[in-house]
Amino acid sequence: MTTPKLNETVQVSVVLPAYNEVNYLTPAVEKTIQTLNQFVDSYEIIIAEDGSTDGTAQRAQQLAQQYPCVVHIHREKRLGRGTALNNAFRQSHGQVLVYMDLDLATDLKHLKPLVEAISVEGYDFATGSRMLEESKAERTFSRGFSSKTYNWLVRRMLGSKLRDHQCGFKAFRREALLGLLGEVEATHWFWDTEVMVRGYRHGLRIKEFAVEWHSGKDTKVNLAKDAWNMFRQTVGLWWKFKTEKKP
């Protein structure tokens, strides 16, 4: 693996959004490095740390000092997962931009096909899916039902063809994503859905593929509160699309 110099373009940038993830951070970074070393010549791993209070910021800084390929972006105040991703992607140097949830709920054996969907197959966006027939996803009934209902609603209201909008395992062609970020208003969980839906509206090529996924034990999703917020934002985006001209 070639360690990139400051401002030097690399093949892949992997963003790990982090909020109070001190127990997950080190194994996630080390496993990601091991996996990337198997198929990528140059890369960077960006820890987008969003106002953590449990020692995650200090651990992230230690990892950045230990590994030249690791970059730590710190926010003193929590601004939301979507805001952290936007900020990290704009500061990245990769031609393929990736983000993964820090608990590595999606098996890292899928990282190579995720990246190659962009770099080899020529897609603009790629995303893992827990909802395809070939997918293997372990989750509670309540979370599974809520997710299926939500994704059905997004397809009906926003015109998306995806089965799973919220899987935290996505890759983007650099120019395609950065060209869209100025339109994306979501600052937290809804970021995934808005990015993918706007990608479809712009005619981008999007690949969805089955993954093996295990629910994290310490999920930060509040099912009742976050489900309501996601529904509200879905309706808001539907209304915005209804009242504006399609790009």
Write out pLDDT tens, residues 98-109. Answer: 999 999 999 999
Give yes or no: 226 in active site: no
Measured distance CA(157)–CA(100) in Å, rounded = 26
Give me the residue label for tokens 């070639």: 2
Across residues 203-210, what is the average pLDDT? 97
Confidence label for 2 from pLDDT (cuts 50, 70 and 90): very low
Options 101, 103, 164, 192, the catalytic residue:
192
Q: What angle do CA 176, 179, 182 make, to 5 degrees?
A: 140
Mean pLDDT within 29-46: 97
pLDDT at 177 over 90: yes
Cα–Cα distance measured from residue 191 to residue 80, given in angstroms and rounded to the nearest whole number: 10
What are the residues whose beta carbons fall under 8 Å from the beta carbon of 232, sequence distance 6 or more? none
Of 33-47, 69-83, 113-127, 128-142, which range is least confident? 128-142
Residue 3 predicted with pLDDT over 60: no
3-state helix, strand, coil in the chain (%, to 5): 45, 20, 35
CB of 115 closer than 8 Å to CB of 169 = no
Do β-strands 125-129 and 169-173 pair in parallel, antiparallel, or remain unpaired?
A: antiparallel
